[in-house]
A and B are shown apart, each in its own frame.
Chain A
Amino acid sequence: MAWPALIAFTIFGIVPLFGVVALSFTSWNGISEQISLTGLDSWKTVLSDPGLPHALWVTFLIMALSWLAQTPLSILIGVFIAAHKRYRALLAVLFFIPLLLSQAAIAITYKMLLDPNFGLGAGLGFEFLQQNWLGEENLALGVVVFVVSWQWIPFHSLIYQGGVRQIPASMYEAAEIDGAGRVRQFFSITLPQLKYTIITSSTLMVVGSLTFFDLIWVLTAGGPSDATRALAVDMYQTGFKAALMGPASAIAVILVLVGLGLALLLRRLGGRDATASQLEGA
């Protein structure tokens, strides 16, 4: 009974995984019948191209900044909704809406909202909102981080809510008898008890951020001047726009290796379930 699933996944999951490694040693324009073996050429091209360190840097920036933006807020909100049954139900419903929208729809919406002439800033007369958000390099990267957080903070808050609810109430009662205040309780009980939740949530954030493509592609297409050209965007542009499938495959292999490395690293830090990493990306 396991066969149909195994066959389907092998053809489109396992075979391509080896295929992408094989293709990184070939030259192919994506259209012609001809795929020729070129040895290490693609790898030399990719590794000597200053575009790769740049794409890695952009990927790292988006990953680190969105982690920094999302984690403290998600924990804070998660702790809050865990304690309040009424808010919990209401917030869970409303918080979920961004997760239902496609990244393409979200990107389009923000493109319009942030338009310097007709967007929210211009319409409401907020001067600080009236910038050319997607036209300036630092701002565009910030917008990507913000939009990612907009979509995912609600999800991670819900994860933290689940984690908080599993902390035994007796720990807080004991702390109160010892005279520990709220802040002390938060840092001495809540945070340490959330260790595994933090690692699970961080794994999802970090590994998922490697695969941001739809959002960036529709929002900025990697621009302005490559400011948001993260690895997945770099791969798409190299392969499907510049018709260099060999180098694009090499970039894809790097993507896999970085993802694997990060997942293992986070697991080392004490996580148990690094396997759920795919969720956020696909």
Chain B
Amino acid sequence: MTTVLDSRATGKVAGAPPARSKRPRILQYNFLGGLAGWLWLLVVIIPIYWIVITSFKLQNDYYDTSPLAPPANPTLENYRFVLENDFVRYFFNSVIVTVGSVVPAVVVSFMAAYAIVRGSATSRFLRSVNSVFLMGLAIPLQAVIIPVYLIIIKLQMYDTLGAIILPSIAFAIPLSVLVLSNFIRDVPKELFESMRMDGATEWGTLWRLALPLTRPALVTVTIYQGLQVWNGFLLPLILTQTPEQRTLPLALASFQGQYSVNIPAVLASVVLTTLPILTLYIIGRRQLLSGLTAGFGK
């Protein structure tokens, strides 16, 4: 890594002779960028490779063999061990929390986004609602966690999965509304007009016109928020207490203490924890990437 930065600073490697630049830009070989890209790929891949192969190693082999060597005696023992030790419960807690917060969050955000796009021109109220959500983007969860904790106690929901779900819904809303309303705004006005001419209600328009046209954005938002909630750590840490209510990230952290001698088992649980979100990512990858890069690229 340092060598990459150093050579960049001196600019020795990057300078290709002008003669080469006559080729179309797309074919030029950006040596320094290529080096950085592939090196960083190694930096990214090695720990992931290590997690996966180690999770298939016997405990003795873990201590005896080279960390990057593939398992000499591949075993599913670690996975069996993890699955027999409450992993399934934490897994279902995480599923309940994720589905239970992402689905309502996306539904209410979609409705709000639709209302804001359709009504902002005439309604001062909807314009201020939009500003509230925009402002909400800047509120970090950490900063308001103490009052959220107090509210959850007052609602007598402390140490339930609902305690994680409700704030998760709320904190998914601002970004979802932003992304969805940007998308709905691109729907040509004529389409809305013709729906109205045909006598469709606002609900009908929302379901039959806006929903299908907004699908890519809905997928992006669902995956992104699903990722956030599935990997969420702070809310479960603060709003739950008993092991029965633990979600996976929190369980991982406690696994680590409990089975600290059994590193392959901890890594097997890391793999199992990541599999569902990896699957979701593979399914929606194109949409997520294009949604994110279009949203932030410029």
On A, residues with C-beta under 8 Å from B are: 1-2, 4-6, 8-17, 19-20, 23, 30, 72-73, 76-77, 79-81, 83-84, 87, 91-105, 108-113, 118-120, 123-124, 150, 153-154, 157-159, 161-163, 165-166, 169, 172-173, 176, 179-183, 185-186, 196-197, 200-201, 204, 207, 210-211, 213-214, 217-218, 232, 235-236, 239-240, 245, 248-249, 252-253, 255-256, 259-260, 263, 274-279, 281-282
Contact = CB atoms under 8 A, between A and B. Distances in A.
Contacts of A213: 142, 233-234
Contacts of B112: 1-2, 4-6
Given A1-B114, A163-B297, A166-B297, A249 B146 contact: yes
5 contacts: A13-B139, A92-B289, A123-B68, A197-B296, A201-B296
A15 B136 CA distance: 11
A176 B206 CA distance: 51
Interface stretch (B38-46, B74-82, B191-199, B211-219): B38-46
Nearest to B297: A162
Contacts of B263: 112, 118
A120 B67 CA distance: 6
* 10 closest cross-chain pairs (CB), A and B: A162-B297, A80-B33, A19-B147, A12-B170, A102-B231, A16-B147, A162-B293, A123-B67, A16-B144, A5-B112
B3 interface: no
Nearest to A165: B297
A72 B146 contact: no
B14 interface: yes
A167 to B, nearest CB: 9
A255 B140 CA distance: 9
Contacts of B65: 123
A252 B142 contact: yes
B262 to A, nearest CB: 11
Contact of B51 (A109, A119, A210): A109
B21 A111 contact: no
Contacts of B139: 13, 17, 256, 278
Nearest to B168: A12
B140 A183 contact: no
A72 B8 CA distance: 9
A94 B111 contact: no
B140 A73 contact: no
Contacts of A197: 296-298
Contacts of A112: 263, 266-267
Contacts of B67: 119-120, 123-124
Contacts of B175: 276, 278-279
A255 B141 CA distance: 11
Nearest to B14: A183
